[in-house]
Amino acid sequence: MPVSSVSSRLGAPECTISQFLHKRYCVTRIIRSHTTYQLLKVVDAIANDVKIVKVVSRTLIGDRKISGNIAWLRSKRTADGRHSVFMDDFKTSSLWYLVFKEPRATLRDILHGGKLSPLPPRHIRQISSQIISALISLHRQSILHLAIEPQHIEVTDQSTVTEHVYDSSGVFVERVILRRPEIALVFFGDAATSRDASRGDERYRAPEVVFGWVSKYRTDNFSVGCVFWEMLKGRPLFPPCPEGQYHVKAKAHMYRALLGDYPDDVRVRASQMNKGLFRPGSGELTSMRDVPENVKNVVRGLADVEGEIEDEGASEVFANLTMISVKERSPLRDILHFSYFERKD
């Protein structure tokens, strides 16, 4: 199929599996499709490797936005881990194609791949600091990531080293860890994606995203807090919650179970955007009577996480990142000045 025929009459990208783009890139997987863009995994037939291609509708987004995004991606000033490595671009009359280096390993691989020991505390601190710094850099450009999760954090140096340490029982053990915990955000620019607030894994979404709005600077904070918890505890903070008719109600009960009561500002706005979520007058969530039984059982098994992080400094960071109310979350630049990040061990 020729490249010029892969957009609909409305301008939305509609690439398909096995299609060749630019006589070079063969589509092997459609990672995500949206009205204004597609994210594709492709095989580069010339370089004989795998790349990621972001296809953006020129009709729906406009050349000025896309070309500005490309200039930003090419800028040396952005070489600070805040986006994936940009390789090339090409375009047709209706679509613009942005080519990126494929992330080779992600934080999810490190945490759950089974090949490495749990992250030592110093690595958790270093990785968290890099994530926050990269997001601050994005936010300075008024760019939101909105999909922070372990899969979207690339580990740029996968070399390992073996340490010999005493465990909590006083036994001398070996552990295999990263030699250098260096990361970069998996991010392909914000052209078209700024309209797709729910593109990430729902387990890492902030309450306001689930309820229907986005904070300009602090929605990403909540997702960072979820990733921080996972590095500390070795498991996701939230269990999976099926998308669909009862998703918002089930997630609302999950947030309440794990993080405490809803502040008035969140309750009022969430009620306005999701009728029947809270009981009138009482401010309590409505029952889960109509929620599927398997989801109810998951929610019933959750308990407030306060006190589960023994390290006081780490607990302070987690609490300030994951406040239910956007207004109560500390700015990321302030988080980096918490005592937890000032340690040298």
pLDDT exceeds 50 at position 46: yes
Is residue 45 a part of any domain in this protein?
yes
pLDDT > 70: what percent of the chain? 97
pLDDT exceeds 70 at position 2: no
Sign of CA dihedral 75, 81, 83, 88: positive
What pLDDT score does 5 carry?
44
pLDDT exceeds 80 at position 108: yes
Last residue of a domain, one of 50, 72, 101: 101
Residue 172: give its domain's CATH number. Answer: 1.10.510.10
Residue 86: give its domain's CATH number. Answer: 3.30.200.20
205 and 322 fall within a common domain: yes
* CB distance 215 to 326 below 8 Å: yes
Residues in CB range of 212: below 8 A, 6 or more apart: 270, 273, 274
Is residue 247 a part of any domain in this protein?
no
141 and 39 fall within a common domain: no
27 and 114 fall within a common domain: no
Predicted confidence band of residue 44 (pLDDT cuts 50, 70, 90): very high
Give mean pLDDT, residues 316-321: 98
Give 210's DSSP letter.
H
Partner residues linked to 33 by β-bridges: 38
Predicted confidence band of residue 4 (pLDDT cuts 50, 70, 90): very low
Higher pLDDT, 325 or 78: 325
pLDDT exceeds 90 at position 6: no
Backbone phi and psi for residue 342, each to the nearest 5 degrees, phi listed first: -95, -5
Higher pLDDT, 166 or 203: 203
198 and 228 fall within a common domain: yes
215 and 325 fall within a common domain: yes
67 and 109 fall within a common domain: no
Is residue 190 a part of any domain in this protein?
yes
131 and 188 fall within a common domain: yes
Taking the C-alpha atoms of residue 170 and residue 14, their distance in angstroms, rounded to an integer, is: 59
pTM: predicted TM-score of the whole model, two decimal places: 0.93
Is residue 47 a part of any domain in this protein?
yes
Give mean pLDDT, residues 290-306: 92
Predicted confidence band of residue 7 (pLDDT cuts 50, 70, 90): low
Residues in CB range of 153: below 8 A, 6 or more apart: 106, 107, 108, 127, 131, 183, 184, 185, 186, 227
Quick count: other Cβ atoms within 10 Å of Cβ 212?
Answer: 14
Asked which of 22-31, 108-117, 187-196 is least confident by mean pLDDT, the reply is 187-196
pLDDT exceeds 90 at position 33: yes
Is residue 1 a part of any domain in this protein?
no
Asked which of 6-15, 36-45, 210-219 is least confident by mean pLDDT, the reply is 6-15
Is residue 277 a part of any domain in this protein?
no
What pLDDT score does 3 carry?
46
Give 285's DSSP letter.
B
Burial 110-129, CB ≥16 within 10 A → b, else e: bbeeeebeebbbebbbbbbb
Is residue 280 a part of any domain in this protein?
no
pLDDT exceeds 90 at position 77: no
At residue 41, the 3 state secondary structure works out as strand
Question: Cα-Cα-Cα-Cα dihedral of 112, 116, 120, 125, to 10°?
Answer: -60
**Residue range of the domain that includes 95:** 19-101
233 and 328 fall within a common domain: yes
122 and 215 fall within a common domain: yes
Give mean pLDDT, residues 175-203: 91
Give mean pLDDT, residues 199-210: 94
Asked which of 79-88, 149-158, 161-170, 235-244 is least confident by mean pLDDT, the reply is 161-170
Taking the C-alpha atoms of residue 90 and residue 96, their distance in angstroms, rounded to an integer, is: 6
Residues in CB range of 42: below 8 A, 6 or more apart: 21, 25, 26, 27, 28, 50, 51, 52, 53
pLDDT exceeds 60 at position 1: no
What pLDDT score does 198 carry?
78
For the chain, give the mean pLDDT.
92
Last residue of a domain, one of 77, 101, 125: 101
pLDDT exceeds 90 at position 317: yes
Tokens for 257, please give them: 């179970």
151 and 38 fall within a common domain: no
58 and 147 fall within a common domain: no
pLDDT > 90: what percent of the chain? 81
How many structural domains compose the chain?
2
Last residue of a domain, one of 101, 128, 149: 101
Is residue 188 a part of any domain in this protein?
yes
115 and 200 fall within a common domain: yes
Burial 251-282, CB ≥16 within 10 A → b, else e: bbbbbbbbbeebeeebbebbbeeeeebbeeee
Give mean pLDDT, residues 184-202: 89
- In terms of Cα–Cα distance, which of 188, 184, 205, 143 is closest to 31? 188
What pLDDT score does 215 carry?
84
